[in-house]
Structure 1
Amino acid sequence: MTEKQRPIVNPEDLPLDHWSEGGFFESSDVSFGSLLGLTNLGIGYGEVPPGKSGCPFHNHHVEEELFVILAGEGQYRFGPNRYAVKAGDVLGAPAGGPETAHCLINTGATPLKYLSVSANARTEICEYPDSGKFLAKTRDASGKPQFRFIGRPDTAVDYWDGEPGI
């Protein structure tokens, strides 16, 4: 066990990273799986203010996610449906196409607090159905990002484009 690793972590004792983007996306969150010595499992804690979402509507092609609502209430947008959620609810987001796209929205009057647990795949493709984007990313065995690209399918080029002698 390294100096930073420990067998028990209380996310409320960890410093949160606060961020916001535009008028709808905002969160204070922290990833802490590495503090527990985990390399193949991602764990995070998030607090989303009323009326906000902690991420865009998206689906994963490789990683599965699980969310545990700790406090507050909100709406779980999953595929074409929306579900009311509250403290104690456990939400699944299996890997797949747009039918498994998901995001949490705080519809309550207090912060929506939750744990997120996911596979920590070394390679992942995510789609964002609302904006038509995709994300391709890889990371090394230690979790350090190696490659990351966000784009849209209409910017695709032919396999041989730009190759010498073509």
Structure 2
Amino acid sequence: MTDTVKSTVNIGELQLDHWRQGEFYEGRDVSFGALLGLKDLGISYNEVPPGKSGCPFHNHHVEEELFFIAAGEGEYRIGERRIPVAKGDVLSAPAGGPETAHQLINTGAVPLVYLAISTTAKTEIVEYPDSGKFLAKTNRGADGKSHFRFIGRDHVSVDYWDGEPGA
């Protein structure tokens, strides 16, 4: 282990990143799996203010996620269902198609606090059913960073041979 990798982390000592996107998305969060030396498992601590969500409705084709609600209450959108959640609940988001799309929304009066734990695949496709987008990405090059990342919509696809010399 190096000096930057730890065996334990105290969440209260981590510096949270505060961000906001539009009127509906906002959070304070930090990813810290790498700090613990984890290579195939991601983990983040998340705080979402009342009336907000920390991410768009989405599904993963490869990665699985698990959420542990530490405080607050909200609504878990998964597929076509909406499930009330509160402190102590553990939520699953298996890999799959739109039937596994998921999103946490804070419906309470205090911050919704949760841990998000996920597998970290080398290649992933994420769909966003509400907006018709998809994300294609690769993870963990030699430097630990993604080397390919593309967000688009599938209705602008091209032929396999499009643009190839001599095709």
TM-score for both structures, normalised by structure 2: 0.97
**For residue 18 of structure 2, what is the aligned residue in structure 1?**
18
Paired residues for 1:24-63 under 5 Å: 24-63=24-63
CA–CA distance in structure 2, aligned partners of residues 143 and 42 of structure 1: 13
**3-state SS of 1:145 partner:** coil
**3-state SS of 2:147 partner:** strand
In structure 2, the gaps of 5 or more residues are none
State the Cα distance separating 1:143 from its structure 2 match.
3.2
**Deviating more after overlay: 47-56 vs 143-152:** 143-152
Deviations 1:82-130 (A, max 9, x none): 0000010000000000000000000000000000000011100000000
CA–CA distance in structure 1, aligned partners of residues 124 and 115 of structure 2: 21
Alignment: residue pair count: 166
CA–CA distance in structure 2, aligned partners of residues 60 and 140 of structure 1: 17
State the Cα distance separating 1:139 from its structure 2 match.
1.5
In structure 1, the gaps of 5 or more residues are none
**For residue 146 of structure 1, what is the aligned residue in structure 2?**
147
CA–CA distance in structure 2, aligned partners of residues 147 and 111 of structure 1: 34
Deviations 1:146-166 (A, max 9, x none): 100000011110000000012
**For residue 120 of structure 1, what is the aligned residue in structure 2?**
120
Q: Tell me the amino acid that sits aligned with residue 77 of structure 1.
A: R
**3-state SS of 2:62 partner:** coil
CA contact (8 A) 1:79 1:102 kept: yes
TM-score for both structures, normalised by structure 1: 0.98
**3-state SS of 2:83 partner:** strand
Q: Tell me the amino acid that sits aligned with residue 85 of structure 1.
A: V
CA–CA distance in structure 1, aligned partners of residues 75 and 2 of structure 2: 39
CA–CA distance in structure 2, aligned partners of residues 10 and 110 of structure 1: 22
The structure 1 segments of at least 4 consecutive aligned residues displaced by more than 3 Å after TM superposition are none
CA contact (8 A) 1:39 1:143 kept: no
Among all aligned residue pairs of Structure 1 and Structure 2, give the percentage whose two residues are the same amino acid.
69
CA–CA distance in structure 1, aligned partners of residues 164 and 118 of structure 2: 38
Deviations 1:37-57 (A, max 9, x none): 100000000000000000000
